[in-house]
Amino acid sequence: MKNIFAKRTISIFLILVLIITTLTACKNKDTSENGDKSAVETSADSTKQSDTDKTDDANSDASNTENTVQNVSSEIRGNVNPTDDQKNIVNNTLNDTYLGDVYSEVIPNDYSAYPLKEKVTLDVWMPSNSILASVVPDMNQHYVFKKIEELTGIKVNVITPPLGQEADAFTLMMASGELPDIIIEAGRYPGGIEAGVNDGAYIELTDLLEKNAPNYSAWRNSDEMRRKTTVTDTGRLIAFYGLAPYSEWTWFGMLIKQEALDKTGLPVPNTIDEWHTFLTKCKEVGYDEPLNYGSTYGQIFTGIINGAYGVWDWVFKDGNGKAAWGPASPAAKEYLKTMQQWNSEGLLNRDWATADFNQRMAEAVSDDCAVMMDSPDTMWGYWKTDNNIDFVAALNPILNAGDKSATTYLNFKRTGTDAAITTQCDNVEAALAWLDFAFTKKGWELYNFGEYGTVHLVDENGMPYYKEDGFMYNDPDGQPLSNLIWKYRIHSFPDIRDEHNSNPLITAKGSYSGDIRKYWTENMETSMAMPPITFTSEEASREAELGTQLSTLRNEYFAKIIMGELSVDAYDEFLDQAKKMGMDEFISLHQAALDRYNAR
């Protein structure tokens, strides 16, 4: 490891210059604000010198000395017109003194591994998505990854599978025996990441993280929930996970166009009966398909309407804290009867069973739609920003007045995605260092807020924010804000994701998306939410087999019943078949995993 992390040799002259400059700069300055730095930065003067010299060696040496870093918080915090030199300090060095301690736990800042003595290239398999691909066709050209290479000395070659073929590409990659160094979304492995470790595809990290990923180790251990959700039942550490400073707000629910409330003259509905009255009135005043009910990505079963009946989407915790399967809940038949009625009355969008995202958004902005089941972040972009349509939130429906609205969504401070290092990685220490950077203060700023100066600034408290005239809100290419969430930052990654402060759809001037999500979170019960449990290899194989069969069965019966192709009584047949398929065994697997999780 010494050949990877050894300090770059620097000349005696440069050492003397740095010592003198640092002592002068630090005199009478309080350098304790962010604690001792294990990696140190050059002063502003020495940064200017490295710019003048234009040599990679001078810049690397200046950013990895053993002296105390100059505190530049007074220059950066609250500065709305930073100079080129100030932008250089933020963007091109590891100086993070201008960043405040903005959470209850301090973000780590151990930079001792950077930059590496020798340039290293890592192959990283990482899926994209349609929006990201439209604004950054080649992830190797993403500003964040290019900047991380400059700061760490670690280059990555991002391998992106074809859109829509991620599952097949992953399977073929695993079958080929030719693996990259790092896999993002490593949980795609059959049976999960631990199965991948047991099968020899991924390496175990238990004995490596504390020494070689000190920032991730410190962050996950700084909070009990983060610690508990990132370790296996047997105490093994096997991956890097996206870990938030808090449990993110609920992101999905019922959203109503304000004009629909105005036209109907009705208040925001709460009970199922009130919702039926409201949707019926919406149809009377001209909304031909008032409720955009669902699509192929699953709103039908997310517990928004069905949750009123206790018919949760999948596995949940019942009133006794035991694992249960939502589609088999006692009131499922009543839920299906209600939805069949609503569908027959034309209260739902006609293509709810097949509509993709683009179809749903086209319907949402049309005059036919009054209510969406979706994210207020998304609808802020499509409704308010693009079409000036105001909207309000409703809590998940309840069955009877006085019931508590509920959801099975609970963040557990785990967010983003996961990453595993494969057994074919030639430089494990470098892979650990690259992933670990995302859990430093500098990494937190870069992944969440992108480039300083053009995209974000830093306020008086040391919190980054998007400047009003910056690229995030004034894209030179004219891209909508809903796309820019991916263009100038990394929205989903194993990092410290600060969704509440760095999601531009939440922080945009005038946006009330965050207010809605906070309202939902603070006013809906979540005790039935299942934590991120894990299965043994044997359990995982069986759970996947049973889960696939039960999901297919549920989708078929529920969809046909709601569309009126089967009678509501067909639910009894569904439940009987589910039991024969192994429903009870399926639930018992989840109960065993839940028991182990609770004992962690």
Q: Are residues 400 and 416 in the same domain?
A: no
When mean pLDDT is compared across 20-29, 286-295, 368-377, 472-481, the lowest value belongs to: 20-29
- Domain boundaries, position 401: 253-408+527-598
Structural domain includes residue 549: yes
Q: How confident is the model at residue 39 (pLDDT cuts 50, 70, 90)?
A: very low
Rounded to whole angstroms, how far apart are CA atoms 174 and 189?
Answer: 9
The predicted structure's pLDDT at residue 411: 87
Q: Are residues 310 and 372 in the same domain?
A: yes
Note the pLDDT tens digit of each residue in 408-445.
Answer: 988 899 987 999 999 999 999 999 999 999 999 999 99
Rounded to whole angstroms, how far apart are CA atoms 415 and 244?
Answer: 6
Structural domain includes residue 109: no
Q: How confident is the model at residue 465 (pLDDT cuts 50, 70, 90)?
A: very high
Note the pLDDT tens digit of each residue in 78-95.
Answer: 999 999 999 999 999 999
**Does residue 109 contact residue 146 with C-beta atoms inside 8 Å?**
no
Percent of the chain whose predicted confidence (pLDDT) is above 90: 79
Structure tokens that stand for 4 in this block: 């990877």
| CATH number for position 472 | 3.40.190.10
Q: How confident is the model at residue 317 (pLDDT cuts 50, 70, 90)?
A: very high
Q: Are residues 263 and 222 in the same domain?
A: no
Stretch (H or E) spanning 183: strand 182-184
In whole angstroms, how large is the CA radius of gyration of the chain?
A: 26
Q: Are residues 341 and 192 in the same domain?
A: no
Q: Are residues 369 and 347 in the same domain?
A: yes
The predicted structure's pLDDT at residue 415: 86
The predicted structure's pLDDT at residue 67: 47
Instruction: Give the mean model confidence (pLDDT) for residues 90-110.
Output: 97
**Does residue 125 contact residue 142 with C-beta atoms inside 8 Å?**
no
Note the pLDDT tens digit of each residue in 504-555.
Answer: 999 999 999 999 999 999 999 999 999 999 898 889 889 989 999 999 999 8
Structural domain includes residue 320: yes
Structural domain includes residue 10: yes
Structure tokens that stand for 471 in this block: 């690229």
Stretch (H or E) spanning 23: helix 12-26
Boundary of a domain, candidates 47, 73, 92: 92
Q: Are residues 316 and 372 in the same domain?
A: yes
124 Cβ partners below 8 Å, 6+ apart? 156, 157, 158, 159, 180, 181, 182, 183, 184
Query: In sequence order, what DSSP letters do the residues of 372-402 get, joined into one string?
Result: EEE-HHHHIIIIIIHH---EEEEPPPBSSTT
When mean pLDDT is compared across 75-79, 281-285, 309-313, the lowest value belongs to: 309-313
Smallest CA-to-CA distance from 267 within 257, 255, 259, 278 is with 278
Positive/negative CA dihedral, 505, 511, 512, 514? positive
Smallest CA-to-CA distance from 95 within 74, 116, 122 is with 74
Rounded to whole angstroms, how far apart are CA atoms 588 and 379?
Answer: 39
* Residue 476 CB burial class (10 angstroms; 0-12, 13-18, ≥19): exposed
**Does residue 313 contact residue 301 with C-beta atoms inside 8 Å?**
yes
Q: Are residues 130 and 188 in the same domain?
A: yes
Structural domain includes residue 425: yes
216 Cβ partners below 8 Å, 6+ apart? 209, 240, 435, 436, 438, 439
Note the pLDDT tens digit of each residue in 224-246.
Answer: 999 999 999 999 999 999 999 99
Residue 41 pLDDT > 50, yes or no? no
Note the pLDDT tens digit of each residue in 54-83.
Answer: 334 433 433 443 447 899 999 999 999 999
* Residue 28 CB burial class (10 angstroms; 0-12, 13-18, ≥19): exposed
Query: In sequence order, what DSSP letters do the residues of 488-511 get, joined into one string?
Result: SS-SSSSS---HHHH-HHHHSTT-
Q: How confident is the model at residue 107 (pLDDT cuts 50, 70, 90)?
A: very high
Percent of the chain whose predicted confidence (pLDDT) is above 70: 87
Q: Are residues 227 and 361 in the same domain?
A: no
Structural domain includes residue 113: no
Smallest CA-to-CA distance from 440 within 236, 227, 217, 141 is with 217
Q: Are residues 72 and 30 in the same domain?
A: yes
Q: Are residues 125 and 184 in the same domain?
A: yes
* Residue 94 CB burial class (10 angstroms; 0-12, 13-18, ≥19): buried
The predicted structure's pLDDT at residue 235: 93
Structural domain includes residue 512: no
Query: In sequence order, what DSSP letters do the residues of 78-95 get, joined into one string?
Result: T-SS--HHHHHHHHHS--
Q: Are residues 400 and 266 in the same domain?
A: yes
The predicted structure's pLDDT at residue 413: 94
Rounded to whole angstroms, how far apart are CA atoms 281 and 420?
Answer: 52
Counted domains in the chain: 3
Q: Are residues 157 and 28 in the same domain?
A: no
The predicted structure's pLDDT at residue 278: 98
Note the pLDDT tens digit of each residue in 115-162.
Answer: 998 889 999 999 999 999 999 999 999 999 999 999 999 999 999 999
What is the chain's length?
A: 600
Structural domain includes residue 75: yes
Map tokens 């034309």 to a residue.
346
Cβ atoms < 10 Å from Cβ of 385:
17
The chain-wide mean pLDDT, for the chain, equals 88
User: Ramachandran region of residue 464, left (φ > 0), alpha (ψ -120 to 50) or beta?
Assistant: beta
Rounded to whole angstroms, how far apart are CA atoms 80 and 508?
Answer: 17
The predicted structure's pLDDT at residue 537: 80
**Does residue 326 contact residue 311 with C-beta atoms inside 8 Å?**
yes
The predicted structure's pLDDT at residue 416: 75
497 Cβ partners below 8 Å, 6+ apart? 242, 243, 244, 248, 415, 416, 447, 448
pTM score, whole prediction: 0.81
The predicted structure's pLDDT at residue 191: 85
Instruction: Give the mean model confidence (pLDDT) for residues 4-15.
Output: 33
CA angle 335, 353, 326 (to 5 degrees): 35
